[in-house]
Amino acid sequence: MIQYSDVQVGDYLLVDNEGTVKRGEVTRLNGNEKQVCVNNGVQEFWYETNQLLPLPVNEEELKNLKFTGELNEEGQVKYSKGAFRLAIPAPGDFTKFELWYRDERRIIPHPISVNVLQNHFLDMTKVHLDDNSF
């Protein structure tokens, strides 16, 4: 489950509709009812927060977000999108992250979801992260 306070318009996440799980993008928020409207590529539908699931950050999702990656000499994989950088300890190891943009650097010692990455990206760059940013 995802907390309502962690969701912003434009975030990517998974929605569980009676056992069918689909990837979607948040299009609207209803703060009074704590509901989230998600477009799953076919239609928009309102969901309760208990129907929202985190979309894990992985190689496929970073490619969807137009990050480019390269292996460095220390064995880390560094991904970039514009001036924003993200590093993981080894190929396929998405258990901890190092994020940096210009002079700001953040160390995240645990796995994160795509919407959390999008929130960090927005906070650091003032641009919402999607598959078109930069």
Between 35 and 17, the higher pLDDT residue: 35
Residue pair 2/52 in contact (Cβ under 8 Å)? The answer is yes
The band of 1, judged by pLDDT with boundaries at 50, 70 and 90, is confident
Could you report the per-residue pLDDT of 48-81, keeping only the tens digit for each?
999 999 999 999 999 999 999 999 888 899 999 9
Q: Which of 57, 124, 69 lies closest to 96, judged by CA?
A: 57
Binned at pLDDT 50, 70 and 90, residue 42 comes out as confident
d(CA 86, CA 8): 21
| 7, 115 Cβ separation under 8 angstroms | yes
| Each residue's pLDDT tens digit, 79-117 | 999 999 999 999 999 999 999 999 999 999 999 999 999
What global pTM score does this model have?
0.91
What integer best gives the mean pLDDT of the chain?
Answer: 94
Span between the terminal Cα atoms of the chain, in Å: 30
Q: Where are the alpha helices (DSSP H) in the chain?
A: 59-64, 114-125
Beta strands in 63-103 (DSSP E): 68-71, 77-81, 84-88, 97-101
Q: Please, are residues 13 and 54 in contact by the beta-carbon 8 Å criterion? A: yes
